[in-house]
Amino acid sequence: MKRINLVLEPGRGDRPIGCEKRRNVCELIECKHLIDECVAFPQVQSRSKNRIASILKVRAEDEDGGECGLVNYALTGDGVDSNPSRPAFSIHPTAGEVYMLKPLDRDPPEGQAKWKLRVMATDGEHNATTAVHVNLKDVNDNAPFFPETSVGTTLPENSPQGSSVALVVAQDNDDPGEGNNARLVYSLEKNVIDEASGKPIFSVDSNTGLVTTALCCLDREKTPKYTLQLVATDGGGLKGTGTVVVRVGDVNDVAPKFTQAAYQIAVGETDDTDRVLATLPIVDPDLTNKLAFRVVSGSGRGWEAFTVRAGKVSSSSTSDGGGKDGGGDPGGEVRATLPLDYENRDHRREFRFKVEVTDQVSSSVLVVYEEDQPGEGIKELIEVSDGLTEADDRQGEAGWGDRSRVDSAWVSLRVTDINDNPPVFTYAQNAQPLHAQTAHPPATVTDPARAHLTLSEDTPTPAHLVTFTAHDIDKNGGSTIRYAVDPASDPSGRFSVGGEGEVRVVRPLDRETARAHTVLVWALDDGDPPNTATATLHVTVTDVNDNPPFLKSPRQVTVVENSEGVSEVCRVTFGDPDDWGQGHGPPFTVELDARAPEHVRRLVSVTLDPAGDEGRGVGVVRTLGGLDREERGGEVLVPLVVGDAGRPPLSTTLTLTIVVADLNDNPMYPANKLVTAVILK
């Protein structure tokens, strides 16, 4: 059985490092194969050499060491099969030379440290294979880098020297086993210098990247944030930089202070005990605190009438009253425990009391800091107190023992007048009887906002009826009062009111139009908007006999012509709009007007039936003979003189129309009529 050996030799002009040459024999008949391994040549894989390089030669021998006949070689494996169009390695098909076709990279993320190839030889009858592992030797071509370009952290203020700030570790993709290529040394390139000592505030462990404080006691109220630049340097001098943002966490180490030792406050009177009368600003640079306020018991006049609670001073809040809840700086909200009334003489005096503030009530919440700038990626959870957003409602409880953490101020509060009281009617006086014929004299007024008068409809105008007097306790009783009539209560404009509240009738009254009037009189103060009060004047209008009777029915009757003898045509009834209860109506009187035409007096008679229409009296109209329609044009107008029972009585002349119906009582006679026609062509 013939055997063939594959022998690995260095490439031309190159000497392999650590190449083990073992003639492992492949039994071609049984197709069993062993592997020759050879470490490749690092100098030929350098990425600076952009040329084809021979790294290895494969030669075939028979089992006796003799040369084989014509042998063909083929190459497969990493860099060959994965990219056939642009392979990293190739082999000469007959000479067995293995070539590196392009620079190779061993470092992550794209590089590969070991390349596994397989060489196949064949003489057409027998085959043999061997494995070739190409191990790339590292060069220091990668700079260190920080996985996170910016790291945020928080350190409580007043932390001792040597406190850990952050462990920041860089990476280097070079081979850590190849010299110092990946050995990193850390340093602070941009540190912060303490102004007092001239020493750096932070330090970093050169081997681990642990950043610590080099000095004691950072002060958040002085510097709330530090920005450091950390550098990592490898053994070849390549550098990478990263940013460390150190936020100083707050510790409640500063006592709150009122911005003033005394506050002068003027507030309008109010019934709202939940209204914020004023906000007392507080200066406290700490974040992790909770403010508590109280009014000092017995400290001054009116102390028991007020409370102070924690709140915020918004942009619209001032210490002179009118504060509103909202965002802003911390402060104490002053509220009253009872309504403040300027009209109460005791409230007109200035209130003066002492208030205190402390920050010795604490609790913890989580606060998320937003990103300083887009893309920085700094977002930390910091544990701080919420004392600037929640009020401590407890007055005089625990938290006041440490007087070094308590500040005080005096509050002088003055209540000012506002237009919160409407006018009040205090007096109403009727005028003297207006007229000798007034049916009912004015009644005595008992309600200062109400009066009732009875007036005759013939009351002369203008006439003073009543005076309503109003008073307003605002402005110490000095408000100006003006008066007006509610136009809806007097649509006809019959009444007016003067500057002193005197009500007059200025247009004649008419009982037949309105038997009563309810006039509303307004009293308005000089506020903006004004407050109002309303007085009511009821006027009952009595009757005078100022309307004559009128004809009710019928107003027109029909009679057939040529009726012979005396016949009753109709019975006429009458009405009167005046007050019948006062005798200004029936019983009525009626007669034919003495001035009636002669033919009417000849043809018609009119008499009174006093019992007719239930005793009101009716007029009985009769014809005295036949009526000729053609003679009188078809109708007869009968004038009636009608009177009422008033004292003196009123009478008037009314007209009854008698329509004469036609009979066919006239013969025909010849007649002609000329008609002219015009024909248009």
The CATH number linked to 615 is: 2.60.40.60
DSSP one-letter code for 13: T
- 163 and 271 fall within a common domain: no
Backbone torsion region of residue 614, taken as left when φ is above 0, otherwise alpha when ψ lies between -120 and 50, otherwise beta: left
Residue 516 lies in a domain: yes
Tell me which H or E stretch contains 601. Answer: helix 598-603
The tally of domains found in the chain comes to 5
Mean pLDDT of the region 452-469: 94
**Cα gap 173→176, rounded to integer Å:** 8
For the CA atoms of 661, 667, 670, 672, the dihedral, rounded to the nearest 10 degrees, stands at 10
pLDDT at 328: 62
* CB-based contacts of 543, cutoff 8 Å, min separation 6: 456, 457, 511, 578, 579, 582, 584
- 342 and 207 fall within a common domain: no
pLDDT at 227: 94
Q: Contact, 392 vs 362, CB < 8 A? A: no
Computed over every residue of the chain, the mean pLDDT equals 81
Per residue in 581-594, pLDDT (tens digit) is 888 999 999 999 99
Residue 671 lies in a domain: no
For residue 648, cis peptide bond before it (omega within 30 degrees of 0): yes
Terminal C-alpha separation, the chain = 147
- 261 and 407 fall within a common domain: yes
| 434, two tokens | 């207006």
CA-wise closest residue to 149 among 249, 248, 227: 227
Mean pLDDT of the region 514-541: 94
- 261 and 410 fall within a common domain: yes
- 530 and 617 fall within a common domain: no
Residue 144 lies in a domain: no
* Of the listed ranges 210-214, 286-290, 378-382, 607-611, the one predicted with least confidence: 378-382
Q: What percent of the chain has pLDDT over 70?
A: 81
**Cα gap 146→236, rounded to integer Å:** 17
- 496 and 561 fall within a common domain: no
| 534, two tokens | 């309303």
- 230 and 263 fall within a common domain: no
For residue 587, cis peptide bond before it (omega within 30 degrees of 0): yes
- 528 and 490 fall within a common domain: yes
Backbone torsion region of residue 375, taken as left when φ is above 0, otherwise alpha when ψ lies between -120 and 50, otherwise beta: left
pLDDT at 459: 93
Q: Is 446 exposed, middle or buried (0-12, 13-18, 19+ CB in 10 A)?
A: exposed
Residue 27 lies in a domain: yes
pLDDT band at 210, cuts 50/70/90? very high
Question: What is the residue range of 104's domain?
Answer: 4-135
CA distances from 116 to 37, 39, 81, 91 (A): 10, 11, 11, 14
- Number of C-beta neighbours around residue 64 at 10 A: 8
Residue 674 lies in a domain: no
- The residue out of 416, 442, 476 marking a domain boundary is 416
Identity of the residue numbered 285? P
Q: Report the helix count and the strand count for the chain, using DSSP H and E.
A: 4, 42
Residue 614 lies in a domain: yes
Radius of gyration of the chain (CA): 62
- 265 and 129 fall within a common domain: no
- Number of C-beta neighbours around residue 159 at 10 A: 18
- The residue out of 482, 512, 542 marking a domain boundary is 542
- 323 and 436 fall within a common domain: no
Residue 310 lies in a domain: yes
- 533 and 476 fall within a common domain: yes
- 409 and 266 fall within a common domain: yes
pLDDT band at 373, cuts 50/70/90? very low
Residue 281 lies in a domain: yes
pLDDT at 359: 87
CA-wise closest residue to 243 among 155, 161, 170, 156: 170
Total-model pTM: 0.52
Look at 9 and 173; give whichever has higher pLDDT: 173
- The residue out of 249, 283, 317 marking a domain boundary is 249
